[in-house]
Amino acid sequence: MTNRQAWFLTGTDTEIGKTFITCALLHAARAAGRSALGMKPVAAGAEDVDGVLINEDAARLLAAGSFDPGLQWLNPYCLTQPVAPHIAAAAEGVSIDPSHILKAFRLLQTQADVVIVEGVGGFRVPLDDDYDTADLAVDLGLPVILVVGMRLGCINHALLTVEAIKARGLRLAGWIANCITPDMPRLDENIAALQQRISAPLLGVVPYVPGNDPSLAAQRLQLPED
């Protein structure tokens, strides 16, 4: 009997290192001898490479995973414009179907011991007029990993996101402090304040290192326990 695990990874905002941390967690799983895949259900911002739309984040997840499951499953919806997904989808005449995302996720889960589904932007990003990434997390039914981009204002953003996760009836499996600036004042005190207020384990602190390799960052992280 296999011990398969999956998590939904979200962040306090956009540009706080969700993809980097997802890749690092994939490396951590692989270092522990487990097969691992990342999934980016919806990506906005892509380039045409030999007739195929490729999103940079999806490509990074593909490179960090144990094998290539096919970009059409790893990244079911790849939108060209680097704007909010519901705006890009409307402009490109694309209808985002949650059932297609769930189908792709279930396929990946049959192939790997660990699957990490990376959201878009923060926790509540619209995918159409009445469905957002929080709804997707609920439909997936996965425990959540929260990436906190350590910068001024992160305590408020983190605590509001934790409240939103709990309000949807989801379990916060843990959080990660990702240092996205080289000189955040009172970094240790900010991390301590979050530890005091978030009733989920701190899975690791990733320091700011320009051009950091996710396989090295993996050494500072742990996967959530069941």
Q: What is the mean pLDDT of residues 91-113?
A: 97
Q: How many Å apart are CA 165 and CA 117, to the nearest integer?
A: 15
* The predicted structure's pLDDT at residue 2: 56
* Model confidence pLDDT, tens digit, residues 208-226: 988 889 999 999 999 998 7
Select which of 18, 40, 103, 166 is catalytic. Answer: 40
* Model confidence pLDDT, tens digit, residues 20-48: 999 999 999 999 999 999 999 999 999 98
Is 40 considered catalytic here?
Answer: yes
* Verdict on whether the full-model pTM lies above 0.85: yes
* The predicted structure's pLDDT at residue 1: 34
Say if CB 158 and CB 194 are below 8 A apart. yes
Q: How many helices and strands, by DSSP H and E, does the chain display?
A: 9, 12
Q: What is the mean pLDDT of residues 62-78?
A: 97
* Model confidence pLDDT, tens digit, residues 124-133: 999 999 999 9
